[in-house]
Structure 1
């Protein structure tokens, strides 16, 4: 049987053009790009280091390199290399993260050529590109496969461009080199037909993307910029720069010194704990009451302060005030006595948590003392980190009881029980006004005993009404432009996914605007 071979057509494209083509080809549109809240700022992060490791499928490679493939081979092109695990490493061509659309796109150099059965199997993959849309990512490639068209008597090499091979779920470690599971697409299945159907689990991909900040302009560069002025005028200008003088608009991104932290100047927490628990205390069965202290009132805890750690991308915040739940009076005391104080928000690589100091006396008479215990795990999937006038407000975060926090409710609820949603407002600018709305009074509802287990009713909980307009999408960024620091931390979200500690969590130097000091 004769075969006709058409060599793969290669495209001469610059890396940036390839990235742009990938974005346009997917029909991507901006959700409403945030202006970084406080004047002009960077609109994207450009990655200059990294790479992609992907082995297609380990069993496929083993077959090709075994005796059953009749001389099968795996050949690398364009600088691609094999890793210790047998996967293929493709170098980074270009990469960018759009701070407005929260879309990550990157392309990679090199290719891989699979052959077996004296050329009857012939698959070439090259021009790999990776894009994300929301919480889903796609790896595409240009393909050249030997096929026999229907009705044809001979096979030929068929070239296709930008074929979506596999999809994957965007996770916290997606850009930090962690294993990211992949699944074969319908188009990808055609490339590997008849070996694997659509949906087949393929090899995990390992993606690393980093951005190296350019060095900050040297003092001599600033001096030379004004060399056309007289020597005395130049010296005077450099000796006493007015606080209102804007910095050069060409200031480039730069990471802060190691160990830098950014202050959270103020904050307020609104949390009703659990509606059914409040209803139970207010009913005749418990004959209880709720006492607030330290300035707290109506489940609103103000006076928050804390910091954002630029090295770990962690957030720690504590709020003032306390609350005490009392039930089942017995003489001058109560059989049920639960106190929460030092409530706080903690976000790190382990997740997001509401923490508190707890003193809990349950119905069994035993007292438990807990310090800075993570009481509730918070779901940030739908959180909006877009700042408004220097304040980031996280509204109605779903909360579930943690295993460590279960004793805080005196044994009434088990780990996993749904708690009231949590609303937090954090001021990253000194003097920024927190939202003026007030939390609604927690509903008392019909008195009922707490539900044991994870199916408790969370209720609506306190609601904080945010006034003012918000620029950007619901997939926003956590931005700080405090007057005491020139750095803007951006905790980027894609479809509400917080990429803490990942490659898309970046630090960018803000362009100073008039009035900064």
Structure 2
């Protein structure tokens, strides 16, 4: 199997060389016979796959992911993208075999595991995704394990090759640390060409597939049947054009020209002065995705509640705080904004009391030349401390520019401070990346803010989703982050090998008790 899979990259290069030289046949490669004339080289593809959301949540809770060498991870502990995909397209069977660049390491110093994925590959004919996998027990008690071309998931291949359903394999459970993953639904998989060719005509081709001088099929693999059984595909068949229109993943797709700011062009705001008082504003922040999942999971068995005008997106999502007050100075690139609303995290219930009871309110963001802080009033187990600096902020740009009377600063990096770590009971260490912050503030009363991320627009006191229904306490979330065969459904999916010895399991099960004990010891002491 390894020889067959590693053949595709070499074959793609050989086909391209033969095309340039005008050759009519290829010499045998790696023991293979003469390459089929139906195979055309492919390049510049991307693969996006999150493996499994509960796996990302688990790793994010106790460790971290590091993507490099061509791999990236979406914000908020999102899916992974592997780049520079090359391989072949079989114009007869209408299948692709692609290999991607990128290295992904998931690791936890606390639980002594490290899992590395490289050489990620997608074979639409076989309907599977594979990778080279190395697992390391950092205690040294278990030998390092390596596997080439490990089948991680079966893929329900579709013509478009976007959002394809995946099912994790037995091998995925073996290498990722939980036998419970075998047969479980993985995250959807998307494979797309990164950029459309510059010579693509403005109107799609009206005839069947061709393989022009570049060797690239103009119909593209995503416009073809992938199982070799055309009768199971739409009647349009292989004459569909290559999806060079915006049929791509969120990481690579072209944004809609109407969605750049979210502000309404039909109601222009009056010209605001360079500095003054804010008229309104919203702040979007998820605190930390793994923390939200932990609270409603089978360990804390708790719930998340918003109040005071705050809202939470469906599926135990991020929070939106509203009604900003404060000041701005676009010439000096300074902004100070305080927002209404509160969020409460509650878990580890025992006898009517909670080991975890944390409320964040009165959030305040400051920016000065692109850097700043995020602070909040913190109430932990009945002890309130005002103005705790939870995170250091760093925007992608230091410029504060207003468009139609609105300043929008999205994806502001947030890093947990020492005071913030204390507020969370040292659940996370200072320097931990928190969810990014999105800010939109109105400089005049007639300026229109973009829609918030929260699904609860009532401004009431909804819980985990903002619909007034309680989510949590049973190890489930409405959005499937936890539950439904994931880590929190029964507890059996927590990666045993990843946790190491029985002591590792005790760390997880006892996390709430340790948290509660630590917080009770420090009651009456003010947070920094």
TM-score category of the 2 structures, normalised to the smaller one:
0.3 to 0.5
TM-score calculated relative to the size of structure 2? 0.34
> Of Structure 1 and Structure 2, which has the larger fraction of its residues in helix?
2
